[in-house]
Structure 1
Amino acid sequence: MTATSETSPRQLASINPIEQLKAGRLPRRLVQLYVGLVLYGASMGLMIQGNLGLDPWDVFHSGITKHVPLSFGTVVIVISFVVLLAWIPLRQWPGLGTISNAIVIGLVTDLTLATVARPDELWLRIVLMVAGVVVNALAGALYIGAQFGPGPRDGLMTGLVRRTGLSVRLVRTTLELTVLAAGFLMGGAVGVGTVVYALSIGPLVHVLLPIFTVRLKHPAAR
């Protein structure tokens, strides 16, 4: 007989993709997931149009766009699925949120770039950069808190942590410095926005994630 337990609003459940779909509160969680992903894509578009620097993975994406005839959003989608291939040796299974993340964010980023103009005035570019960082943190808290699985890049990090035994800080820092350096060498957009993002995204998500983490009922250990 399987017992059930309820997650704390401050605690993410460790459950597989099937359990994620059976964990209750599905309408609320689906809405929160897709609102979060849409906002995440929009936040990336805002930072790009601010033209003051991007987060490490987006520096990498923007660097790639300098060398291939693909839109920014298309590059995000392609790299997402390339990263998912790395999940195979890590023996991880993507959830609904993982696959949705890989597709929705790139599409919305391209839509945002097509509808939000890049301003010439510095103060407007600063507004777009700051708005992008804040909305990104809110979006991350929403889609992570919906508990449908990590995005491809976060899942790569957690998978490496589990398989190697190294710390989250070390693995995340190594991954982000690697893609940042690669993106910079390809001509990606590095600037003050990169530093602002790096310094503020952690504290912002730390505050917002407990607010939006949905309580779940899920199978406990037998």
Structure 2
Amino acid sequence: MPAAPVRPAVDKAFPYLIGCFFFSLGAYFFIVSHLGTDPLDTFALGLLRHVPGTIGIAQAAVAVTCVSIVAVWTRRRPVLSPMLTFFLCGSAIDGLLILDPVRLAPAPAATLLAAGTACCAYGSALIIMSGFGIRAMDLLAIAMVQRWRWPFWLAKGALELTLLATGWLMGGPAGVGTLCFLIGVDLLIQPLMWLNATVFRVRNLGLPPHPAPAGGGPT
């Protein structure tokens, strides 16, 4: 029947697109708060002090590395959908910076930072639950959960702490906002998944409560 795939497609597309919006909005709040970048930006900006390029190229290189590691671990072809999320969220952030709604309704930096943390965490939770376009670092964290049985927050935190430390040693900027992203976003993702699943009945297609054995991986 032609209509059979409609529900699975909706289960993926709706939370995915809403998740991309919230993550982009949160990233915008982080940027305009001027209290620090996320660990990936710290790494990218630190790297650019030593090699030529752009922030986008540096971040894309990290994404490709994460996707490649997952492909090797799961013995599957590299997943390309994280790159779609990379460009989709990047474009949305650029659009928000051009519109700059905070300029029309100013808010204290601490409020922007709190809103950014909540939005990035909620957006990340929805994107992961959609099972599509999972951000490359989250995809690698999920592979670590499946391979080593680590808690998701520990796997993601270890990856971002590595980026933060490496970027800072290379001269990248870090601030209170960086720590809020590292701690707040990583710790809120799974509670927000639980909230979405129990209250809003969103299906968790990316990181179910009992992860698949190593080599399974999200689709």
1:129 aligns with 2:104: no
Post-superposition offset of 1:22: 5.5
Structure 1 counterpart of 2:34, from 29, 35, 51? 51
Question: Which residue, out of 88, 92, 100, partners 1:116?
Answer: 100
Tell me the equivalent position of 2:67.
84
* Alignment partner, residue 216 of structure 2: none
Secondary structure of the residue aligned to 1:204 is helix
Tell whether the 8 Å contact from 1:48 to 1:54 is kept in structure 2 after alignment: yes
Go from structure 1 to structure 2 and tell me whether the alpha carbon gap of 1:88 and 1:147 turns closer, same or farther (over 3 Å shift): closer
Specify every segment of 5 or more residues in structure 1 that has no aligned partner in the other structure, as ranges.
1-20, 218-222
Per-residue CA deviations over 1:95-130 (Å, capped at 9, x if unaligned) read 5753432321222233333333898xx963222222
Q: Which has the higher contact order (CA 8 A, sep 6+)?
A: 1
Distance 1:191 1:155 in 2: 26
Unpaired runs of 5+ residues, structure 2, are: 206-219
Q: 1:28 to 1:158 in 2, by over 3 A?
A: closer
Offset, 1:37: 1.1
Say yes or no: does 1:30 pair with 2:30: no
Question: CA 1:199/1:177 → structure 2, altered by over 3 Å: closer, same or farther?
Answer: closer
* 2:184 is the counterpart of 1:215: no
Q: Is contact 1:49–1:117 with CA below 8 Å preserved after alignment?
A: no
Q: What is the TM-score normalised by the length of structure 1?
A: 0.68
TM-score, normalization by structure 2: 0.69
Q: Distance in 1 between matches of 2:180 and 2:166?
A: 20
Q: Distance in 2 between matches of 1:24 and 1:95?
A: 22
The Cα shift of 1:75 comes to: 4.2
1:140-167, CA deviations, whole angstroms, 9 ceiling, x for partnerless residues? Answer: 122122232632112222324544x363
Would the aligned equivalents of 1:40 and 1:140 in 2 still touch at CA under 8 Å? yes
Label 1:73 to 1:43 Cα distance change in 2 as closer, same or farther (>3 A): farther
Task: State percent identity of aligned pairs.
Answer: 25
Moved more, 89-98 or 125-134: 89-98
Aligned to 1:8: none
Q: CA RMSD in A?
A: 3.4
The equivalent residue for 2:166 is: 182
The answer (yes or no) to whether the contact 2:82–2:136 under 8 Å persists in 1 is yes
